[in-house]
Structure 1
Amino acid sequence: MTARNLNSDQFALLEFKDRIAGPQNVLANNWTASTSVCNWIGVSCGILHKRVIALNLTSMNLRGTIPPHLGTIPEALVNISNLEILNLGFNQLSGQVPSSIFKISSFKIIDLSSNSLSGTLPNDMCQHLPKLEGLYLSWNELSGQIPEEIGNLLDLELLNLKAIKGLTGQIPTLTFNISSLKTINLSNNSLSGNLPPITNVPKLETLLLWGNKLSGNIPNSISNASMLKNLDLGDNLFSGPIPKMLASLKHLEVLLIHDNNLITGSATDHEWNFLSSLTNCKNLRKISVSGNPLSGVLPTYIGNLSKSLQYFYASYCELQGNIPMEIGSFGYVYKGRLSDGMEVAIKVFNFQTEGAFRSFDIECDALRNIVHRNIVKVITCCSSVDFKALVLDYMSNGNLEKWLHSKNCFLDIKQRVDIMIDVAVAIEHLHNGYPTPIIHCDIKPSNILLDEDMVAHVGDFGIAKLLGEGEVMKQTMTLATIGYMAPEFGLTGIVSIKCDVYSYGIILIETFTKKKPTDNFFAEEVTIRHWMESSLPKGAIEIADVDLLRREDEYFVVKANCISSIMELALNCSAELPEERKDMKDVVVELKKIKQRLLNNIEHV
């Protein structure tokens, strides 16, 4: 009986193999009738019954080919009756998702994410998947609505329907009545209507609904999701006051409610009461309320927010008054004017912050004698017993983060290439322009400043490290910014010039994709680099900032080739192992070649 069952599994998988293709022919060479199906790549069998229970073919570049029926998910898979896990994510599969896949009652995990699959979610799917724990269908081309009966998936822990685009209608009310749910990601779709009451999700830790058309108030019932850590309701049509009930989310780490129509209190009450309530959230590290009509004055109790807070975004609001002195880690930055009329930036250091004196000394030593076109110039240092400040060149166009992620800002492809060349030249100068190499350690878009001519300058050496003569590496307990930090830096505190190269590679990816490494889409197992590595083979149109590259563009092919070349370079800069990363000298040379090809090809099109 077992042999016959195993043979039926083998037959089904061989039929599946015949309908897909991969660049390395891994399945063609490994999946053969002469070897046991349980020894095939990507196949797992049960210990007792020896039936196939899991199929994991993620990130193998499986794709559709001519004739048209190839590259689809074949009906054959439904014949493996004991299959518990189906993982075909991060491939290039196309065609309809067979509705019969949603009728395999043994399924616990279905992962078809990051393909080009079409079709709809069957209305009766929830009746046939009693054991389903994870449904991953993000980054596909499905259409229709989320089945109303989704609340019947009583064991569901993770629901990821992000970036399907064609997903419309309202969020079913029963979604928030699945007590086992830990993660809900319905981001970047076209869902509308109000957010349903949140009734019974005691284990929910992540709720991501950004980039839809959801409206109405943020319900006070949000407080029922008491274990929530990540909440992203940004880029919707929510209105009304920001609820004080957010204070009940004591485990909250990320709160993103930017780009809505939210207000602080009422039409006449402009107090930021919700902000004072957030002082109960001791683990908060990121808040974004940008792009809302929030008026009034930032309260002084903003300084009472979580000590772990790393990001506070409130741009494009309607704020008035002064910036509270309570804001700042190592210091606050002011705009000033010298007696000769020269505009400057003045960074005043915060003595209440542990490490402020050390940060000041480091910044002075690292910057005082550095003169370079692409590095923020220190005009002078001010120091007394109770006051320390740096006077810096003022950069009138703000920072790269603003230009990449603000609604009213846009950089064309040439501007982005020029900025990244400027940054590469600056880093190369720090690494090779002095007897003692300087490691910045915290290169990120907010530390890349743009002057009136859009020339980029690297600044903020608050945690810069100097490598002594003969030293290859230095160990430090100071942490850089999460997401841009090299793996070896985050794990061990060991730094080298290769840490800056890694950060630069991540910024290259962000600059041309408009995706941040800290976006909720990226978790430990799928970093922005892993996403780029698996997505780049699909073509630049799949990964580029949608405002930067469109199929109807006059120079589409030229721009796509340029972006692909830059992303290849970014992957070489952000390799996991330091010794595999490029040197910044080579990066500068390669980027300048890419720019020249771009300009030459545009001229000849």
Structure 2
Amino acid sequence: MLVNSLVFLFVLVLSGEIPKEISNLAELEELNLGHNSFSGQLEMENFNISGMRVISLTFNNLSGSLQPNMCSILPNIEELYLGNLTNLVGTIPHSISNCSKLTRLELSENKLTGLIPNSLGYLTLLQILNLERNYLTRRIPNEVGNLSSLLKLDLSGNNIVGSIPTSIGNLRNLQRFNLSSNKLSSNMPPSLGNLQDLVVLDLSSNNMVGSLPQEIGNLKVVTKIDLSMNQFSNEIPREIGGLRTLVHLSLKHNKLQGSIPDSVSNMVGLEFLDLSNNNISGIIPMSLEKLQNLKYFNVSVNKLYGEIPSRGPFKNLSSQFSIHTEALCGSSRFSVPPCPTSSKHRSNRKKLLVLFLLLGIALLVVPSTFIFFWIRYRKADSLSAITRERTSYYELLQATDALSESNLIGSGSFGSVYKGVLRSGTAIAVKVFNLQLDAAFKSFDTECEILRSLRHRNLVKVITSCSNLDFKALVLEYMSNGSLDKYLYSHNYFLDIRQRLSIMIDVACALEYLHHGCALPVIHCDVKPSNVLLDEDMVSHLRDFGISKLLGEDEVIYTQKRYQHWVILHRVRLLILL
């Protein structure tokens, strides 16, 4: 049979054994049977097709082991997903290196035992290696450092011992590295500082010892570091303050000593900080008041003393702040005794001196400051109508599983769109702009400028936004039925004449509103089926205003007739497509 893809057979609750006749599909290249209830033995001979590139059997009731001749049966396999099978046992065969074209190997949450074969190091095209939650033992082979294309390495939840090989520092493209819940018992190698594309580092729940290396400060794009539940000792390196993109830092349950470095106040993106259950001494630096995004702060069970900061994120204390230590003092809302009076007088005197100094500076710079903030206010006003309270970067990471590929629902010229669920349970679509493209900044600003003044049932609703120097995103209403594009160009979807007419009317109403219902007309400039989204009731919504144009008053009269013709042409074009 001339079938080259069977990728829509997942999540259909199919049962029974996988038919051997699949091997008769000589042209088959992709097979996805994941999330079903297939049972029986895992027989790779069933997939003995020379051109097979992708196999996914995840979440089935299959039993068996990885056959030593697996790669000779599947010589061209590129992606192999065998995670979450009921009874996949045995070892990872050394012959896995013969699958030389592998880019993704997913064997997570099985019952695999034995060691990680050093022959894995020959899979130089491998981008994703996920062996989490098995029963693998022994050490991580040095040859893992040869996987130069690797983006994700997850060995968490095993029984791996020994040290992290220094060769890990050769994985310059690595973005996610998870060795949590193992039995590692060595130092953290300084070579980890070479991983300058690393976004997530999780070494929690091991027995690692020694000092945290200064090279940790080289991880300039990291957003999450979890080193909790280990035996790390000595001081927190001040270089950690250079991690300005860091959102989540957990060092709890270690043996760290010394003081909290003042440089932590430079981590402006920090939202989660847990230093509890260590031997940290000294004061809580007042400079931490600058961490305006901080939502969780825990320094309990340490040897801290002195006054607790009371401004910035400490001003409105919540249950997410745990700072109880006997030697601390401050406001009664912290459930600690008040600080000594003399300390208060000294503090007040310092505050008075600072106040006079600031007043003197203000008298010198107030005119220029006023002009500066007036300009900034006008720019900020374009965003304020979109959202009164922006969603934080950390909340978006939680909602989208750290912008994981499994949540990716689309890509465009200026970025990608991810599906997510807020803590309130609201389904959202997060449009993340690729700031490596200069045009992405303009696209973000354009959408904000346009959408702040638009209100129409056939335009995609913007819920909120998230914007800083390194990250810009719009949080949009999620459209469960996807884009019109797939209904027009796929054989798996069908629109009857009533639905087609309704969609045409919806889009026409949206264009009519943009051209004639706004104070200043808006030209969308990119009306096409992929920019028409359908909600659960098949009501269409126009999206993507990244290259739209908002006309000035002097352009309205001059171009009015042209817009009328333009609207008609687009309606005719859409009708033809439908």
TM-score, structure 2 length as denominator?
0.50
Select the structure with the greater relative contact order (CA < 8 A; seq sep ≥ 6).
1
Between structure 1 and structure 2, the one with the greater Rg is: 2
